[in-house]
Structure 1
Amino acid sequence: MPEPETGKPDAPAQPAHPHTATLKRLEQSSGSLAAQAIARMDETLPWYRAMPPENRSWIGLVAQAGIAAFTEWFRQPDAPQAISTDVFGTAPRELTRAITLRQTVEMVRTTIEVMESAIDEVAAPGDESVLREALLVYAREIAFATAQVYAQAAEARGAWDARLESLVVNAVLSGEADEGAVSRAAALGWNSPEHVCVVLGTAPDGDSELTVEAIRRAARHAKLQVLTGVLGDRLVVIAGGRNDPLAVAKSLIGPFAQGPVVAGPVVPDLLAATRSAQAAAAGLKACTAWQDAPRPVLADDLLPERAIASDPSAREQLVEEIYRPLEEAGAALLETLSVYLEQASSLEGAARMLFVHPNTVRYRLRRVTDVTGWSPSDVRSAFTLRIALILGRLADGDPQL
């Protein structure tokens, strides 16, 4: 009797592999080839021998997966393959941090060399050239897969680092820097330099990542450590490694947009960088009041404008660094400076008002410069000294100021 029809067409027969004998021998040799590759790595790669056992075991699995993936690829060379998933998916993502790209290339090269040296033994008679050509093509594919894995890891790490850096910069600028911010900065490669200052200015239009990278290039050229970010329309740079904030600002000024660039005072470490950042921010806000301000400018050079703009730290600094030292140096210096400024910086006029010789006025003014660091004969310094005298008198009249 004829067989009953099932209604289903017969499945097409799979075509036989053109190199069945070689494929079978390759499947049988995969374990020994992986063992030889691991032995060769242990013999020729010092960094492999120095690794902890756990990482070495993961690398062994990667080598085994690579040989198994080649076997499967040789079986079906036209089938779509995901070599990076097949080979590198056996190891945890952390392995890309444990070994460098160079070390991974050495590992792949060693494995390929072991497989290449075994071609004459593994290939069936007459298939040597076929297997060698297949291995060359596979080596190219595995090289691209290696580059892809590390590129993806670097991209993810770069995005994470950018977010981490932004958190540190924002913490410093907002006054919330703590030991956690220091730890995050250390994870970004910040080596706790002794001298730190903050530079603020306007961020240029366009891609903020390009601006940040330009700052990093300028910092490398100037041998500075930096943490930087674009916050709103402001470009913030925390720079370490030099005790001259003006020189730091000049070396980093290129990527800033047009407009004022203000450098805060030098502080000893990242935890104290908030003081520098707040001074720079206050200076950036008050800089419009000094139309001829240099670019870049120090926040301390903007003390009078900052004080007028209600910056309490600037007011305190003017009183404590100018008025109080003059007060302690004697009433004669305060009186002479006050009269000199009231007399439109005239030595003779001040001398007449004080009933002293002009040389006495000149000597006392030199003493004012020695005590405060500001010269009454300089127009800009005279303005700063005048504001300091006003604030000092107000503070004496009302202790709450």
Structure 2
Amino acid sequence: MPEPSANEAHQDAGHDARRGHRAHAHAATLKRLEKSSGSLAAQAIARMDETLSWYRAMPPENRSWIGLVAQAGIAAFTEWFRHPDAPQAISTDVFGTAPRELTRAITLRQTVEMVRTTIEVMESAIDEVAAPGDEGVLREALLVYAREIAFATAQVYAQAAEARGAWDARLESLVVNAVLSGEADEGAVSRAAALGWNSPEHVCVVLGTAPDGDSELTVEAIRRAARHAKLQVLTGVLGARLVVIAGGNDNPLAVAKALIGPYAAGPVVAGPIVPDLLAATRSAQAAAAGLKACGAWQDAPRPVLADDLLPERAMAGDPAAREQLVEEIYRPLEEAGSALLETLSVYLEQASSLEGAARMLFVHPNTVRYRLRRVTDVTGWSPSDVRSAFTLRIALILGRLADGDPQS
């Protein structure tokens, strides 16, 4: 191997000398940084206690963790100044000393104030810490480090937010699925409370088809609509269905209209109002049965109430709808007297003709008219309306079947 020439050897010696001079200068500054790191951390903590009211109000445990973060930040700067070109995980070096719960104890704004205070203390001590002639180098290094620590702070809080968001989404999906499957219990109520559900008095479930695309965007659209309508919601996309448990309004149709925007084309069904989350299963089952039977009513409005689909649900085999029709229509008419049941039956059989019903009953048409008004008062359904007449007819059929079945 050829030996270097005299000129090359002289150049190498010059490079080594310059490298040695720079290393010696930085070594002095590094030595001073290492010696003063403890006092700088103490000054930063004292400055925080003096200027940051939220820091003074924190419990001792959290303040001690913040002190450790400040010390780790100064130590990480010393190491970074020692090897500025070496790849380093500043977020791990600085924030790795504190527990994950600290990101919940202090906000991002408070963390920025903490970092700013620490950097200001270090900047004010540059003239004392830096070796003669190294003040500019140390100040420039501190500026670059401040930028890096700012990015690291944002990264820590972004990762914490993503983790919380993913966990909250899974938790919310569990609650929604429990309500829809009829398995809601006190555990589901506790999980909902952890998500911010404040147990509103009026709760209903709205079901429809979920749109194609990112389900997270759909959920966020539901949340925006809920905030605008001043509703509390728990929502999720389960298979092809978009499920919303809404609270804070005693009008289910108004709730469905306020939230209908993110749903895909097709029927949207609102279940009845129930008192709380535990009872929301009843609303969810009614909405699911209504969504299944909605195709039988071609002119159904959008959105539609599950109770407006009672006849279709009953014909589709929904036992709750059958029971509701019997208990809310047939039984009250039966208790009001046989005249109302007989008049309603004859009126419907006579194609809703007052005169025809009067002839069959041997009464005046005004008597039929009066009895039909009584039917409306008792049931809430008007025999003169085509849709209501259909519901009343199904209720009469189911009531007669129930009376004729000894097991009913």
Q: What's the offset of the Cα at 1:210?
A: 1.2
Cα deviation per residue 1:261-311 (whole Å; 9 max; x = unaligned)? Answer: 000000000000000000000000000100110010000000000000110
The answer to whether the 8 A contact 1:227-1:238 is kept is yes
The answer to whether the 8 A contact 1:101-1:150 is kept is yes
The answer to whether the 8 A contact 1:17-1:75 is kept is no
Name the structure 1 match of 2:76: 69
Cα deviation per residue 1:336-377 (whole Å; 9 max; x = unaligned)? Answer: 111110000011111111111111111111111111100000
Whole-Å Cα distance in 1 between the matches of residues 370 and 223 of structure 2? 49
SS in 2 for 1:191: coil
Q: What's the offset of the Cα at 1:120?
A: 2.0
Q: What's the offset of the Cα at 1:26?
A: 1.5
Q: Decide which moves more: 13-22 or 262-271.
A: 13-22
Q: Decide which moves more: 374-383 or 73-82.
A: 73-82
Q: What's the offset of the Cα at 1:131?
A: 1.7
Whole-Å Cα distance in 1 between the matches of residues 354 and 54 of structure 2? 77
Whole-Å Cα distance in 1 between the matches of residues 21 and 177 of structure 2? 63
State whether structure 2 residue 166 is matched by structure 1 residue 162: no
Whole-Å Cα distance in 1 between the matches of residues 52 and 363 of structure 2? 86
Whole-Å Cα distance in 2 between the matches of residues 8 and 74 of structure 1? 21
Question: How many residue pairs align between the two structures?
Answer: 401
4+ residue runs over 6 A deviation: 1-15
Cα deviation per residue 1:211-259 (whole Å; 9 max; x = unaligned)? Answer: 1111111111111111111111111100111001001111111111111
User: Any unmatched runs of 5+ in structure 1?
Assistant: none
Q: Decide which moves more: 145-154 or 71-80.
A: 71-80
Whole-Å Cα distance in 2 between the matches of residues 400 and 300 of structure 1? 26
Cα deviation per residue 1:305-352 (whole Å; 9 max; x = unaligned)? Answer: 000011010000000100111111111111111111000001111111
Q: What's the offset of the Cα at 1:23?
A: 2.1
Q: What's the offset of the Cα at 1:97?
A: 1.4
Gap change, CA 1:88 and 1:230, over 3 Å in 2: same
- What are the within-5 Å matches in structure 2 for residues 226-237 of structure 1? 226-237=233-244
Q: What's the offset of the Cα at 1:124?
A: 2.5
Gap change, CA 1:115 and 1:15, over 3 Å in 2: closer
Q: What's the offset of the Cα at 1:400?
A: 2.9
Whole-Å Cα distance in 1 between the matches of residues 250 and 209 of structure 2? 24
Gap change, CA 1:13 and 1:184, over 3 Å in 2: same
SS in 2 for 1:6: helix
Q: What's the offset of the Cα at 1:29?
A: 0.9
Q: What's the offset of the Cα at 1:18?
A: 4.0
The answer to whether the 8 A contact 1:304-1:387 is kept is yes
Whole-Å Cα distance in 2 between the matches of residues 314 and 323 of structure 1? 13
- Alpha-carbon RMSD: 3.6
- What are the within-5 Å matches in structure 2 for residues 201-240 of structure 1? 201-240=208-247
Whole-Å Cα distance in 1 between the matches of residues 406 and 203 of structure 2? 33
Q: Decide which moves more: 201-210 or 314-323.
A: 201-210
The answer to whether the 8 A contact 2:25-2:134 is kept is no
Gap change, CA 1:396 and 1:14, over 3 Å in 2: farther
The answer to whether the 8 A contact 1:325-1:372 is kept is yes
User: Any unmatched runs of 5+ in structure 2?
Assistant: 5-11
SS in 2 for 1:11: helix
Q: What's the offset of the Cα at 1:77?
A: 1.3
The answer to whether the 8 A contact 1:260-1:296 is kept is yes
Gap change, CA 1:129 and 1:13, over 3 Å in 2: closer
Whole-Å Cα distance in 1 between the matches of residues 81 and 95 of structure 2? 18
